[in-house]
Structure 1
Amino acid sequence: MKKLLQISLALASLFGAASFVQAKEAPTVASAMQAKVAMCIGCHGIPGYQASFPEVHKVPMISGQNAKYIAASLTAYAKGERKHPTMRGIALSLTEQDITDISAFYEAQAAVPAVADAVPAPSAQVAELLTKGACVSCHGANFSKPIDGSYPKIAGQHADYLTVALKSYQVEGNAVVGRSNAIMAAQVKQFSSAELKAMAKYLASLPSELRTVPQSKFR
């Protein structure tokens, strides 16, 4: 009996130690993730936050966005295929693993499906523009089901950001503004700024899986 008691106490001690180690490890993982997104939350973790470059616009909502698209975007900023001094500096500071982890983190945040039964119809003008641009062929049903994860969900995204993003594909020969994407450039160059703004306004009105999840700037 005494021997059984000693064994039971030893096992309890062992499991207790394991639980303690797990408890010690859990915050370390969380802290590591917090450190990786620390540069992101100052803009993307504040509802309504506005950037002033290349013009004043709300920063994009990235919580609930496709991880593959976020990763592709960060890589494009690092390579200079997307020109934005602040985003390039941040992207260059990240390792490939950082980009993978950050992208997965934001995809998992606010991962709620868009409401499927309250989709406003576009005006005849906007419908014609969207058809001309073949937007649904890449961005999918309700512009929230891209045919590939490397394409963004654009339904419900801020209209002013969408307008700025679309116009950036029209820019050529600028060292600090512009995006290099042959497919998007070919589509966007068909439209005037007013037409891009009209499409962006409609897209922003759609039910969305995208969110801004408030994050404390102080850890």
Structure 2
Amino acid sequence: MITTQIEQAICLRLQRGLGRMVRTVKSYNGEADDLAAQIKTLPAVWVTYGGSRVETISGGSRYQDTATFAVMCATRSLRNEAAQRQGGVVLQEIGSNDLIDAVRRLLDGQRLGLPAADSRGLTPKAIRAIANHTLVQQAAVSVYALEYTLRLNRHALENDRFPEPQSDSTHPDYVFTRYQGETSAPYPPFEYLDGLIFDPQAENAKIPLTAQFWQD
């Protein structure tokens, strides 16, 4: 759904933008817990969802989620600590400082093509060291997590209604169709309007109004 779309959109933008700075850009799957198994995949960027704060707006029918995402930048160096931060002499040894700056340049303020995201886009909040110059298989490994928030507006379903069936796999409600959850039939299109226009300055003056609408 929307959280997965955001995570995938972050990964795709970083894959396109970082180019050969990294070997891997992917959703996080516990790689930081076993750095020895990841040593040959570094430098790498891992993306994960970190939860949301939810606020009610508009009398309870609309909500604003402040979703948190972590973008982890993992680098390695066979040289000294300065090379770990600033980069080595070979192309594959990008420093953690440069990789962090590159990720921020690509992500800060981006809305990722999501209509539900507000105008602030991805907002950087903090940069935290997960592993700082940790020795792994004779290489120094550093992992930094860049924390972002993204504010999203969500609309609640009407009482007792289920999501409408969707054929577009990018629609947030497509997951219900895919997994055969119960759905509600779409409302019929608005086709006809009938009413009266009253003139308050003329006694009993009224004009009937009829309008019909067509869909192409």
Structure with the greater relative contact order (CA < 8 A, sep ≥ 6): 1 or 2? 1
**TM-score surpassing 0.5?**
no
TM category (shorter chain) comes to: under 0.3
* TM-score using structure 2 length: 0.20
Larger Rg: 2
Question: TM-score, normalised on structure 1?
Answer: 0.20
Q: Which has the higher strand share?
A: 2
